[in-house]
Amino acid sequence: MTVELAPEETVRLSIAMGEITKCALNGLEQMSRAAIAVARRVDSRILLLRGQKVILDSDLAELYGVPAKRLNQQVTRNAGRFPADFRSRLSRAEYKNLRLQIATSSLGHGGRRYLPYAFTEHGATMAAAVLRFAARDSNEQLL
């Protein structure tokens, strides 16, 4: 079905479509700015360890908005979902070297009690899934 429009209606329609397009583009521009900010935040925390790009458990937990203890607890409870190449624990030497590079506090004044885990990209994705599942499960228990 074809609808014939008068010339003034066509102009109004094209102006309206132009405004809609402009609004849509502004929304995409704002989304891309937010996405770029998140990507930069994540990218700044990626380390090269044993020839792989990884992110430490504390950084990953901060990005997901949970304490590192909670992240590691959920990962341990779901250990079957994390093959050895998804996460690994840093050695003492690696952790000491890392502390020197990022200038963290000394071990005697609070801080970590255990060596941190390093998650690969697949491990970080799986950790997000495990945390979502745990959050959904805890919400169901409250009901």
Domain limits for position 132: 47-142
Domain tally, the chain: 2
Note whether 26 and 64 are same-domain residues: no
Q: Which of 113, 74, 70 is nearest to 95 (CA)?
A: 113
What string of DSSP letters covers 26-59?
HHHHHHHHHHHHHHHHHHTT-EEETTEEEEEHHH
Judge if 3 and 71 occupy the same domain. no
User: Are 73 and 123 found together in one domain?
Assistant: yes
Please check whether residues 88 and 19 belong to one and the same domain: no
d(CA 12, CA 103): 61
Do both 5 and 28 map to the same domain?
yes
For the sheet with 117-119, list strands across it: 47-49, 52-56, 117-119, 87-89
| Residues 69 and 137 occupy one common structural domain | yes
Compare 90 and 104 and report the one with higher pLDDT.
Answer: 90
Same domain, 33 and 80: no
What pLDDT shows up at residue 57? 92
pLDDT of residue 122: 92
13 has pLDDT over 70: no
pLDDT tens figures, 101-123: 765 555 555 567 789 999 999 99
Query: Are 71 and 137 members of one domain?
Result: yes
pLDDT bin (cut points 50, 70, 90) of residue 73 is very high
Distance CA 93, CA 91 (A): 5
